[in-house]
Each structure stands twice: as C-alpha cells, then as structure tokens.
C-alpha cells in the first residue's frame, strides 16, 4: 500500500512538472473541458482490454485512464476548485453511504437486494440534489445512446414509471415492429427513423428487465461478427479468393464454420 501511495505521489509530481513554466506547453494549455474526450477514449480502451482478458493491456490502459483523472484533478486544484484529496474523500463517503449492509445495520439476503438498495439510495441522492422536474440531470448526455437510454429508463422505473412484467414489454416490442413495418411500406423516412428508435428503446427496456447491459450485449455481438467475418476473409485469402469475387454460397458456408468454431471454443 505504501508503494502504491508513493507511486501516485510520483505521478502527481510528474503532472505538476509537465504543467510548470519549464514543463510542456501543450500540458500547460489544457483545460478541464479539453481532457473530457481523452478520458472517454481511455475508458473505452480499458473496456476493450477487459474484453481481451490481457493483464498487460489492462495495466497499461488503467494507467492511461488514471493519468487523465489525476490531470483533471491537478487542473482543478490549480484553479482553487478542489484537490485530489477532496475527490477521494467524496467517493469514500459515497461508497459508505451506498453500502449500509457493510458499514451500517442494513440486512440483505441476496445480490438483487443489494442492487435494489443501491438504486433507492441513488434515488434519494438525486431527489436531494435536483427538483422533481430534473430527475435525469445526472445522466451524462455524452453517454452512448444505449447506455444513456438504459440509465434513464432505470431512473424512471424507481418512480413507478415501468411495466410490471417482461411479457408486457415484449408485447410493446411487437407493436413497435408493426409500426416500423408500416412506416417502411409507406416510404416515410422520418417516420421510419422514429419507429426504429422506438424499437431500440423498447429493446433497452427488455435488457433492463433481464438484467443485461444493452451496451455490453451489443458490443459483444459486434465483436463476434468481426471475429467470424475475419475467419471468412482469412479462409478466402488462403484459397486465393478475394471477398469481392467470392460466391455468396461459399461465404455462407464459411460463416457457418465460424459459428461452429465459436461454439467449440
């Protein structure tokens, strides 16, 4: 632990050096707003390394993300807003507050109860911070659309705005599919876009009901598609055939082979 503390202190010292008058002009010029896009990029790279299950990649990407977080904290301290110590104390208090079954006398019997308690505590925190007209204020607009939709619907659900059973959501999906089909047949592009959005929003609600993160599910499926398509192009290349020249029947057969390989691994 002492080694970790010293390492963080050394990294903060490095950041201070970079932002000093004899440091790096680019680092001195940066503002909090400038760093946002880098934090987002690094967070996604951490996510990718978790998917790859590479400890070396994860170690590197966590370091990149930590650097950006410490950089923003240093900018904020220079501006007299808050220090890294303030950030650490704030999150420490929040975690204690949100784990009453560990740090208080709350009793829980399952992981699901822990999740439900967590959501209720978050709801109380939102109510204390925001008016009832602004209950979604803490959901970042910059979140990916699926992630943002799932967070918003989860918040609405804590206020009772929700279906009672998943079969009701599945029924809603069927209704949205019919409306989408009608819009496509009419050739109404604006209505088609709207109805497709409704389908995706309903699918997000289904994800929430079955306790699946929609963003993660879609990301995994996209990666699966890329993996299988890579197998197809690799096999075609080994046969001296380009993707453009390949027969659709041959591509379908290779796709089925890729599916079997996925299931075997």
Specify if 133 maps to a domain.
yes
Range of the domain at 135: 98-142
- Give the pLDDT confidence score for residue 119 in this predicted structure: 84
Q: Cβ–Cβ contacts within 10 Å for residue 210, how many?
A: 9
Q: Specify burial of residue 140 (Cβ count, 10 A radius: 0-12, 13-18, 19+).
A: exposed
Instruction: Report pLDDT for 253.
Output: 94
Tell whether 132 is covered by a domain: yes
Q: What is the pLDDT of residue 194?
A: 97
23: which 2 tokens? Answer: 């440091």
The closest alpha carbon to 180, from 190, 167, 168, belongs to 190
- Which candidate, 134, 176, 141, places its Cα nearest to that of 155? 134
Same domain, 81 and 6: yes
CB 179 within 8 A of CB 149: no
pLDDT value for 265: 59
59 and 108 fall within a common domain: no
Assess whether 69 and 102 both reside in one domain: no
Decide which of 63, 85, 107 is a domain's last residue: 85
**pLDDT, block means (10 residues), the chain with 265 residues:** 82 96 94 88 89 89 96 95 95 95 92 89 78 76 91 92 95 97 96 97 96 92 94 94 92 94 76
Would you say residue 130 lies in a domain? yes
> Closest Cα partner for 123 from 162, 87, 88, 154?
154
Look at residue 220 and tell me if it is in a domain. yes
Q: Are residues 72 and 133 in the same domain?
A: no
User: CA-CA distance, 172 to 256, in Å (whole number)?
Assistant: 33
Q: Indicate which CATH number applies to the domain containing 53.
A: 1.10.287.1080
Q: Quote the DSSP letter at residue 132.
A: G
Count CB neighbours of 21 within 10 A: 6
The SS3 call for residue 84 is helix
| Tally of domains within the chain | 3
CA angle 144, 150, 155 (to 5 degrees): 125
Identify whether 231 is part of a domain.
yes
Note the pTM of the prediction, 2 decimals.
0.65
What confidence score (pLDDT) does residue 131 get?
56
| Residue 230, domain member (yes or no) | yes
Backbone angles phi, psi at 131, to 5 degrees: -75, 165
Burial class (CB in 10 A: 0-12, 13-18, 19+), 5: exposed
Is the residue at 43 inside a domain? yes
Instruction: State the alpha helices, DSSP H only, in 98-213.
Output: 100-103, 111-129, 145-158, 166-186, 189-209
Residues 104 and 133 reside in one and the same domain? yes
Tell me, what DSSP letter sits at residue 71?
H
What is the residue-wise DSSP string for 7-20? HHHHHHHHHHHHTS
> Residue with structure tokens 């998917």?
51
Is 71:35 a contact under the CB 8 Å cutoff? yes
| Same domain as 103, residue 75 | no
Q: Is 223 part of a structural domain of the chain?
A: yes
């Amino acid at each position: 632990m002492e080694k970790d503390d010293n390492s963080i202190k050394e990294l903060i010292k490095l950041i201070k050096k970079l932002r000093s008058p004899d440091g790096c002009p680019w680092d001195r010029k940066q503002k909090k707003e400038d760093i946002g896009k880098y934090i987002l990029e690094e967070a996604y790279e951490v996510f990718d390394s978790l998917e790859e299950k590479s400890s070396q990649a994860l170690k590197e990407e966590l370091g990149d993300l930590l650097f950006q977080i410490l950089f923003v904290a240093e900018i904020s301290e220079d501006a007299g807003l808050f220090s890294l110590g303030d950030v650490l104390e704030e999150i420490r208090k929040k975690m204690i507050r949100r784990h009453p079954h560990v740090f208080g006398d709350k009793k829980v019997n399952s992981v699901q109860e822990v999740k439900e308690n967590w959501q209720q505590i978050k709801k109380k925190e939102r109510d204390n911070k925001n008016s009832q007209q602004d209950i979604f204020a803490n959901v970042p607009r910059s979140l990916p659309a699926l992630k943002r939709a799932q967070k918003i619907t989860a918040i609405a659900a804590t206020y009772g705005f929700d279906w009672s059973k998943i079969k009701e959501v599945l029924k809603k999906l069927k209704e949205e599919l019919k409306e989408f089909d009608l819009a496509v047949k009419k050739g109404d592009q604006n209505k088609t876009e709207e109805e497709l959005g409704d389908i995706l929003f309903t699918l997000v609600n289904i994800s929430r009901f079955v306790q699946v993160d929609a963003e993660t599910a879609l990301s995994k499926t996209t990666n699966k598609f890329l993996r299988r398509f890579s197998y197809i192009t690799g096999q075609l290349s080994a046969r001296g055939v380009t993707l453009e020249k390949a027969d659709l029947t041959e591509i379908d057969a290779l796709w089925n082979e890729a599916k079997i390989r996925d299931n075997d691994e």
